[in-house]
Amino acid sequence: MNPLLEVRDLARHYPVRSAPWRRPATLRAVDGVSLGLPAGRTLGLVGESGCGKSTTARLVLGLLPPTGGEVLFEGQPVPSVRGPRWRALRQRMQMVYQDPLAALDRRLPAQDQVAEPLAIFHRGTAAERRERARAMLASVGLTPALMARYPHELSGGQRQRVVLARALILGPALLVCDEPVSALDVSIQAQVINLLQDLQEQHQLAYLFISHDLKVVRQLSHEVAVMYLGRIVEQCTAQALFSHPAHPYTQALVAAVPSPWRSTRAPRIVLRGEPPNPAAPPAGCAFHSRCAQAMPACRAVRPALREIAPGHAAACHLLAQA
């Protein structure tokens, strides 16, 4: 399957100088990430806060220039400069943010918010744009009575439906969803997840789905990539990840999630300490200071991401020995 989205060795580094007499350091927010996402599929991107998931999302959309690597969308490089080519590509790649109230314009009613991208790209007359916006809002489950309301007059779930309608109005092929349900109540989360699944089927949408909530990722994702300190440490199908996580970090994340995939609940693995400072990562495996299975080699040599089974890659010296 040809990928709709291809990310090759993507990097975003920031120079950091804490004091004038100190040597400048480099914060490696994203460090050599490679991903592929075919049309109509969902790739979950998971990891703790600060691991580089959201920076990866912004790099994919060209909202942030990379310091290395490249992003290809529908076979074309995504420009990091916001010119006409970037604007044309952005119609096919949209973002869904965590906080729908912050993402919406509080001065516009729902139907005008959804019609706005059509006006920006000069599509149709004002009456046609309004008609298309109302049809799109209806397709995400908003009743006609709610379409004239302002964001503060809608519930969290209704606002996220408006955000989705606005993201879909230009006919994108890819939605980059950054924690799209984490600000919602659990019952509303389930409704929005079902809606995302229905929309994917109807529009053949691809989702890059970023979340720290593995329960949600398990429901939606076909493939999952696990990030730790700016790098991918494991990538495989969702089924393989949740039934046979290979990397010790993934095992700890998965063990914390109640799972119908396992017959007995795996013992909880408590991760020691916090993730290291990304501006001063440890030598060798970046996870070694928290890994119960660390060996002397782990402190000296960084493990490469390598295939450990067909379609299943992980970066761990233990797995290289297997």
Going residue by residue from 281 to 300, which x/- string records binding to ligand SF4, judged by CB under 6 A? ----x-xx--x-xxx--x--
Identify which range of 43-51, 122-130, 165-173, 313-321 contacts ligand SF4 by CB under 6 A: 313-321
Distance of CA 281 to the CA centre of its chain: 23
Is 190 a binding residue for ligand SF4 by CB under 6 A? The answer is no
- Shortest Å distance, C-beta 69 to ligand SF4: 23
CB atoms within 10 A of CB 272: 9
What's the CA gap between 81 and 84, in Å, rounded?
9
What's the CA gap between 128 and 119, in Å, rounded?
10
- Shortest Å distance, C-beta 240 to ligand SF4: 18
3-state DSSP assignment of residue 236: strand
Is 318 a binding residue for ligand SF4 by CB under 6 A? The answer is yes
Sort strands 93-96 and 174-178 into parallel, antiparallel or unpaired: parallel
- Shortest Å distance, C-beta 223 to ligand SF4: 21
- Shortest Å distance, C-beta 246 to ligand SF4: 10
Q: How far is CA 205 from CA 176, 192, 200, 201, 318, in A?
A: 10, 15, 5, 7, 37
Q: How far is CA 226 from CA 44, 129, 209, 229, 234, in A?
A: 8, 40, 12, 10, 5
Q: Which of 36, 44, 230, 303 binds ligand SF4 (CB under 6 A)?
A: 303
**Between residues 51 and 93, which has the closer beta carbon with respect to ligand SF4?**
51
- The residue behind tokens 């928290």 is 290
**Between residues 41 and 288, which has the closer beta carbon with respect to ligand SF4?**
288
Size of the site for ligand SF4 (CB under 6 A): 14
- The residue behind tokens 């916001």 is 82
Contact 183, 156 (CB under 8 A): yes
Q: Which of 66, 109, 248, 275 binds ligand SF4 (CB under 6 A)?
A: 248
**Between residues 5 and 298, which has the closer beta carbon with respect to ligand SF4?**
298
Is 220 a binding residue for ligand SF4 by CB under 6 A? The answer is no
Is 269 a binding residue for ligand SF4 by CB under 6 A? The answer is no
Is 308 a binding residue for ligand SF4 by CB under 6 A? The answer is no
What's the CA gap between 320 and 314, in Å, rounded?
9
- Shortest Å distance, C-beta 301 to ligand SF4: 8
Question: What is the contact surface with ligand SF4 in residues (CB under 6 A)?
Answer: 247-248, 285, 287-288, 291, 293-295, 298, 303, 316-318
